[in-house]
Amino acid sequence: MKQDASADLAMRQAGLRRAYAGVRACSMQLIAGLSAEDCMVQSMPDASPVKWHLAHVTWFFETFLLEPAETGFQPFDPAFRVLFNSYYVGVGERHPRPARGVLSRPALDTVLAYRRDVDLRMDALMDSAQPADVLNLIELGLHHEQQHQELMLTDLKHHFWCNPLHPVLDSAPRSAGPVGPLRWLPLAGGVLEVGYGADGFAFDNERPAHAVWLAPFELASRPVTQGEFLAFMADDGYRRPELWLSDGWDACMREGWQAPLYWWRDAQGAWQTYMLHGEQAPEPHVPVMHLSYYEADAYARWAGARLPTEQEWECAARAGLAAGSGEVWEWTASAYLPYPGFRQAAGAVGEYNGKFMINQMVLRGGSMATPSGHVRPTYRNFFNPAARWQFSGLRLARDSARGEQVCSPAPA
């Protein structure tokens, strides 16, 4: 049995070594065609420069894996411990998030040299057999970098949007295309299991699996489209306070919202949208995106429906009834809170998710910018309800007197 366990660990380590090379290469592919100037722009406090993302994910491997493992550890640059720490208070000081755009130094070339140095040292680390806890950290670091790959695209889109030239990124992800007609799918509810209870990787906020009670409900067969949202706008949706939560109405008035983020009227008065691959008119049958939770909630109320809870959404996804998930992140009506029995990991790495379980709302599904391995029924994304720069949209739900489709309690 001991030999079998060692063999399993060796196979897992070999797989992670291959995955490490692939994930790190993907980050570099994302910056192909970008200049050093492109990579240091910070257009708002919530976004970060591409250069900072590239350094931070490297900092993760150096800090949490190389530092405890290397004899006589020497950091690539001691200053990076502060410059590229995000929110890990247990590690030490951090450079202020809103001021990441002032970091013209280190230069992009230095950051890329940092990545190469850490990659060589990680390769050396994986030359020898590693215990399960180290492999778990490597796996977390890879998923962490994939999250930042998505953030690199969302942040870069905001950076480029603030430039009147509206630059184009040739490698930008594109929508999968039009969605079909909306149908209402009845679900019976009942006592069901949600959360990740299977083997394999999941973030700590997806665990533990636990039972919930759901009343019968109906879920839309697809996300809301740009054409449908245009109808809300045409019906003065942004000027009708009865449709909005109080905080949402205050944000709408304060920020002057009239349309989703990245929409504007051209000289002829027609709506246009900005995508990383160029400007275009709204596409009526493509999911609407770049909505805050407040806008999503107001639209649902205008449509005579509501947002699904994250448990309802997961129930439908497990049953194969959340078609179109993976096009836009879908706001739910659920606050981001710990699951019953959630335990935060010890040490600084335990700050990854648990400390943010307040003042955030949950999104489910994934977007065109999400790495494919992160699109799963149990994945819990979360943002402040006013956030609009993510690829975020919505899917409608409504109460039902009875359901016909039984939700699957099977693990993800």
Q: Are residues 194 and 103 in the same domain?
A: no
- Categorize the per-residue pLDDT at 173 as very low, low, confident or very high, splitting at 50, 70 and 90: confident
Give the ranges where 31-49 is alpha helix by DSSP (H): none
Alpha-carbon distance 323 to 380, whole Å? 17
* 172, part of any domain: no
Q: Are residues 146 and 213 in the same domain?
A: no
Q: Are residues 7 and 137 in the same domain?
A: yes
Q: Average pLDDT in the 45-64 region?
A: 98
324 by DSSP, 3-state: which?
Answer: coil
DSSP string, 344-404: PPSSGGGGTTGGG-SS-EEEES--TTS-GGG--TT--EEE-TT--SSSEE---EEE-S---
- Categorize the per-residue pLDDT at 409 as very low, low, confident or very high, splitting at 50, 70 and 90: very low
Task: Tell me 31's DSSP state.
Answer: T
Alpha-carbon distance 92 to 232, whole Å? 48
* 178, part of any domain: no
Q: Are residues 347 and 308 in the same domain?
A: yes
Of 115, 146, 161, the domain-final residue: 161
Alpha-carbon distance 110 to 377, whole Å? 39
Q: Are residues 329 and 192 in the same domain?
A: yes
Closest C-alpha among 336, 316, 341 to residue 385: 336
In the chain, the percentage of residues whose pLDDT exceeds 90 is 87
Indicate if the pLDDT at residue 53 is higher than 50: yes
Q: Are residues 220 and 345 in the same domain?
A: yes
* 287, part of any domain: yes
pLDDT, the chain, mean: 94
Indicate if the pLDDT at residue 44 is higher than 60: yes
Radius of gyration of the chain (CA): 22
Predicted pLDDT of residue 400? 87
Buried b (16+ CB within 10 A) or exposed e, 273-299: bbbbeeeeebeeebbbbbbbbbbbbbb
Q: Average pLDDT in the 48-65 region?
A: 98
Alpha-carbon distance 29 to 6, whole Å? 35
Predicted pLDDT of residue 410? 40
Q: Are residues 227 and 364 in the same domain?
A: yes
Q: CATH number for the domain including 203?
A: 3.90.1580.10
Predicted pLDDT of residue 2? 63
Q: What angle do CA 47, 48, 49 make, to 5 degrees?
A: 135
* Tens-digit pLDDT profile for residues 377-392: 999 999 999 999 999 9
* Beta strand pairing call for 381-383 and 361-364: antiparallel
* 174, part of any domain: no
* 45, part of any domain: yes
Predicted pLDDT of residue 405? 54
Q: Are residues 28 and 142 in the same domain?
A: yes
202 by DSSP, 3-state: which?
Answer: coil
Q: What's the number of domains the chain is made of?
A: 2
* 51, part of any domain: yes
* 405, part of any domain: no
* Tens-digit pLDDT profile for residues 278-289: 999 999 999 999
Alpha-carbon distance 204 to 182, whole Å? 34
Predicted pLDDT of residue 324? 73
Predicted pLDDT of residue 404? 53
Give the ranges where 241-303 is alpha helix by DSSP (H): 246-255, 293-302
Of 129, 161, 193, the domain-final residue: 161
Domain that residue 291 falls in: 184-399
Q: Are residues 136 and 243 in the same domain?
A: no
* Tens-digit pLDDT profile for residues 218-272: 999 999 999 999 999 999 999 999 999 999 999 999 999 999 999 999 999 999 9
The answer to which of 2-11, 216-225, 337-346 has the lowest mean pLDDT is 2-11
Q: Are residues 9 and 105 in the same domain?
A: yes
Chain-centroid distance, C-alpha 301:
25
Predicted pLDDT of residue 411? 40
Q: Are residues 347 and 293 in the same domain?
A: yes
CB within 8 Å of 21: residues ≥ 6 apart: none
The answer to which of 21-35, 203-217, 225-239, 322-336 has the lowest mean pLDDT is 322-336
- Categorize the per-residue pLDDT at 4 as very low, low, confident or very high, splitting at 50, 70 and 90: confident
* 322, part of any domain: yes
In the chain, the percentage of residues whose pLDDT exceeds 70 is 96
Of 94, 126, 161, the domain-final residue: 161
Alpha-carbon distance 67 to 317, whole Å? 40
Alpha-carbon distance 145 to 38, whole Å? 20
CB within 8 Å of 2: residues ≥ 6 apart: none
Predicted pLDDT of residue 330? 98
Closest C-alpha among 117, 134, 119, 147 to residue 13: 134
Predicted pLDDT of residue 345? 86
Q: Average pLDDT in the 144-153 region?
A: 98
Q: Are residues 91 and 34 in the same domain?
A: yes
CB within 8 Å of 175: residues ≥ 6 apart: 283, 286, 287, 327, 368
Whole-angstrom distance between the N-terminal and C-terminal Cα of the chain? Answer: 28
